[in-house]
């Protein structure tokens, strides 16, 4: 009887016909250890009906994480004002980590049964424009692997992993010759600077750097978002000039810097430490810390940051743990080149693993399964509406 009831509730959830009471009952069943195997079986059966190839090993790998997150989301918390609504949001999304994985692994699956329609927008990828010191423009995504271009005495080569690297081939100092790498909407790219420093650029970002650093410091300019692994050189501090007079000084470390918001700069350090400077002062940020600079003042220094989530974009995901609707839609705008009109729903949070190698329509269909939001896509405008609970 319990098995039949579990399957009945699960089918109603998938068909989007479950009532609030039935959803509550389903999530209670999902959080029971005794039902783990039953949930596995229902999920496998659903996807075996829909797809020819299903990686069953994923079920075993992710099951414990999903159920742990689900139990956590359903636990009472005095700090949450709208606890009941958030439980439904996070619990539904936890269950969708399972479902979403198969949608999100590639667009190949999304072509099936109307999940992708004529108005769909494909996912972005490795795309960037290189602006040489002489003013010439090079589309890096069209440059063949192994091919080189020259800027004065500097040889610039595209490597097998898609990134570009620099090698001085002559005696010219090149400290006054600059290159720029700019990523478009839906583009990201990795650059290895002349000193060996590695920079990953997110969409709509710009990096400016000399072809050869001077004797006293290594200084670059950054707009947008980047993850940086600085090559160690104690004699040459690494300095990043940021918009609005802010900056970062470091001797050797790994960190992420986000300057998309004009009024807010977010620095997340994974290893080592950096000094973040602004007109309002400076602050030292160390490993596993995150500093949020709000206008000219230090707003918040966070400890024990979830680095996997903070670096999700670099590793090909929107989210690997949880993400708010507001933050997700900001990334959607940059990744798909759409204008998002968000009507309420700022307090919605998705506890879900979301890869970026998915078309916009596939992402929409997945998020709508949470029963928290719905979307209208009209050309390049994406309207987001919160679903009202009865």
Q: Decide: 172 and 166 in contact? Cβ < 8 Å.
A: no
Q: Is the model more confident about 20 or about 117?
A: 20
Model confidence pLDDT, tens digit, residues 32-66? 656 667 766 776 665 445 434 434 444 444 444 44
Nearest to 345 by CA among 323, 360, 361: 323
Report the predicted TM-score, pTM, of the whole model to 2 decimal places: 0.72
Model confidence pLDDT, tens digit, residues 114-173? 444 447 899 999 999 999 988 889 999 888 988 989 887 788 899 888 889 888 776 556
Alpha helices in the chain (DSSP H): 2-14, 20-30, 36-50, 57-74, 83-104, 107-110, 307-310, 325-336, 360-368
Distance between CA atoms of 89 and 328, rounded to whole angstroms?
A: 15
| pLDDT band for position 31 (cuts 50, 70, 90) | low
């Amino acid at each position: 009887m319990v098995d039949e009831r579990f399957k009945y509730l699960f089918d109603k959830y998938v068909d989007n016909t479950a009532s609030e009471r039935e959803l509550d009952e389903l999530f209670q069943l999902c959080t029971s250890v005794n039902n783990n195997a039953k949930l596995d079986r229902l999920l496998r059966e659903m996807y075996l009906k829909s797809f020819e190839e299903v990686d069953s090993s994923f079920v075993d790998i992710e099951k414990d994480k999903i159920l742990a997150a689900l139990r956590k989301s359903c636990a009472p918390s005095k700090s949450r004002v709208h606890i009941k609504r958030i439980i439904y949001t996070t619990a539904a999304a936890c269950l969708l980590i399972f479902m979403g994985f198969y949608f999100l692994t590639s667009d190949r699956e999304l072509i099936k049964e109307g999940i992708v329609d004529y108005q769909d927008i494909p996912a972005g990828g490795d795309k960037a424009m290189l602006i040489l010191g002489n003013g010439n423009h090079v589309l890096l995504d069209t440059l063949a692997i192994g091919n080189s271009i020259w800027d004065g005495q500097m040889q610039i080569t595209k490597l097998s992993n898609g990134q570009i690297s620099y090698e001085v081939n002559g005696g010219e100092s090149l400290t006054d010759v600059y290159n720029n790498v700019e990523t478009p909407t839906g583009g990201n790219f990795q650059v290895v600077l002349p000193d060996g420093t590695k920079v990953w650029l997110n969409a709509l970002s710009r990096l400016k750097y000399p072809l050869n650093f001077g004797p006293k410091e290594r200084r670059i300019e950054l707009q947008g978002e980047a993850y940086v692994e600085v090559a160690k050189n104690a004699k040459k501090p690494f300095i990043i000039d940021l918009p609005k007079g802010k900056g970062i000084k470091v001797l050797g470390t790994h960190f992420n810097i986000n300057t998309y918001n004009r009024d807010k700069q977010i620095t997340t350090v994974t290893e080592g430490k950096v000094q973040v400077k602004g007109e309002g002062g400076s602050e030292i940020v160390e490993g596993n810390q995150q500093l949020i600079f709000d206008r000219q003042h230090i707003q918040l220094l966070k400890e024990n940051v979830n680095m996997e989530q903070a670096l999700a974009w670099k590793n090909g995901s929107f989210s690997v743990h949880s993400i708010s609707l507001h933050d997700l839609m900001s990334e959607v705008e940059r990744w798909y080149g759409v204008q998002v009109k968000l009507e309420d729903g700022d307090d919605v949070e998705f506890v879900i693993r979301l890869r970026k190698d998915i078309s916009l329509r596939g992402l929409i269909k997945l998020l709508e399964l949470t029963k928290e939001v719905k979307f209208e896509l009209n050309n390049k405008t994406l309207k987001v509406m919160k679903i009202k609970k009865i």
